[in-house]
Structure 1
Amino acid sequence: MRFSSTPRGVRLARRMCGERLAAWDVPYGSDAHDAVILITAELCANAVRHGHVPGRDFHVRLAIETPATASTAVTATVRVEVTDTRAERLPVLTPGPTDSPDDHRTSGRGLLLVEALADRWGWTPRTDDGPGKTVWAEYALPLPLAVPQTVPSPPLP
């Protein structure tokens, strides 16, 4: 899905993520729900703050995959992908002056949160013909979930 590179776009992406998780029977307020929502919000906020090019939107894709042996599997994987249009501004995990709980910074912790919550994260160059990059994160959901083996986000026109 495509969103405007604004704080409003970040809010809408977060809400869309919540709706998709509900459709996948991930309970609202569960640890898994809250973690995936926060990962999505942080990656989207970074796309707006660091990957924004005037007049260009960012894209979000959510997908869930369950192992082929879903009857015996204990986790499924949710993958969050956020694509922006700035290839030269790559995500870098840089701890601040201190990582103590007493550090009261109000920004600059997005990737630290993603690192703490996600099972894996990284970035790739944008795969279509446009400029930019895709920052992705994966989170293991406990099963059972009432979802098919692979459920990608439907593309928008």
Structure 2
Amino acid sequence: MLTETPTSNEGPRRTPEVTALKAQFMSTPRGARLARQAAVRQMGTWGHPPESDASCTVALVVGELAANAVRHGRAPGHDFGLHLTYDDGSHLVRVEVADANAAKHPPAAAPTAHAAGESGRGLLLVATLAARWGWTPRDPLGKTVWAEVQMSRTPA
């Protein structure tokens, strides 16, 4: 289910508008792919077409976090959630991917490259592309891994 929620304050001075996308996806590789596609569509509604640097960056971050939720955060009978918010005042997109597995969580420190390994580079990419990233426990179960991506002042 996809929902867009615009939020703004009324008043004589213009306040930044924050808009959001919330969706649930099956904890499968197809679900991760659909989450990335939903993020690209949402970026388009925010003025960043699919081929723009901003859209590609957010797509990569969503893809990596969703793939990790599927691979490491899967719990039987539970989907993973995607929540994107865009604050046009700060030009910041916040990506949140929530899963149902609290036992497995990202490392506390920024990851480093593994020259010989075939995996383990996803969070390195997220850490490189995002202004900030981290994770928080989720009530009643699971965790939310988040990343904040700084957009350019003017959409492409």
Q: TM-score, normalised by structure 1?
A: 0.78
What SS class does the counterpart of residue 89 from structure 1 fall into? coil
What SS class does the counterpart of residue 108 from structure 1 fall into? coil
1:114 equivalent in alignment to 2:120: no
Q: Is the 8 A contact 2:114 2:121 kept in 1?
A: no
1:9 equivalent in alignment to 2:31: yes
- Encode CA deviations 1:77-104: one digit per residue, 9 max, x unaligned: 0000000011111112443543xxxx5x
Between the two proteins, the alignment pairs up a number of residues equal to 131
User: CA–CA distance in 1 between the matches of 2:113 and 2:86?
Assistant: 32
Q: Is the 8 A contact 1:7 1:45 kept in 2?
A: yes
Distance change in 2, residues 1:28/1:97 (3 Å):
closer
User: CA–CA distance in 1 between the matches of 2:42 and 2:56?
Assistant: 13
Letter in 2 for 1:29: E
120, 131, 134: which one aligns with 2:141 = 131
Structure 2 unaligned segments of length 5 or more: list them: 1-22
Q: Is the 8 A contact 1:62 1:80 kept in 2?
A: yes
User: CA–CA distance in 2 between the matches of 1:66 and 1:87?
Assistant: 32
1:143 equivalent in alignment to 2:153: yes
The sequence identity of aligned pairs, in percent, is: 49
Alignment match, 2:100: 85
Distance change in 2, residues 1:142/1:94 (3 Å):
closer
Provide runs of 4+ in structure 1 moved above 3 Å: none
What SS class does the counterpart of residue 142 from structure 1 fall into? coil
Letter in 2 for 1:83: A
User: CA–CA distance in 2 between the matches of 1:141 and 1:124?
Assistant: 23
Distance change in 2, residues 1:50/1:65 (3 Å):
same
User: CA–CA distance in 2 between the matches of 1:3 and 1:54?
Assistant: 13
Q: Is the 8 A contact 2:85 2:93 kept in 1?
A: yes
User: CA–CA distance in 2 between the matches of 1:106 and 1:3?
Assistant: 26
User: CA–CA distance in 2 between the matches of 1:88 and 1:122?
Assistant: 16
- Encode CA deviations 1:37-74: one digit per residue, 9 max, x unaligned: 0000000000011110111100000010122xxxxxxx
Distance change in 2, residues 1:120/1:94 (3 Å):
closer
1:95 equivalent in alignment to 2:112: yes
Letter in 2 for 1:95: T
User: CA–CA distance in 2 between the matches of 1:79 and 1:94?
Assistant: 20
User: CA–CA distance in 2 between the matches of 1:47 and 1:60?
Assistant: 10
Q: Is the 8 A contact 2:81 2:99 kept in 1?
A: yes
Alignment match, 1:65: 87
Question: Of the two structures, which has the highest relative contact order with CA contacts closer than 8 Å and spacing of 6 or more?
Answer: 1
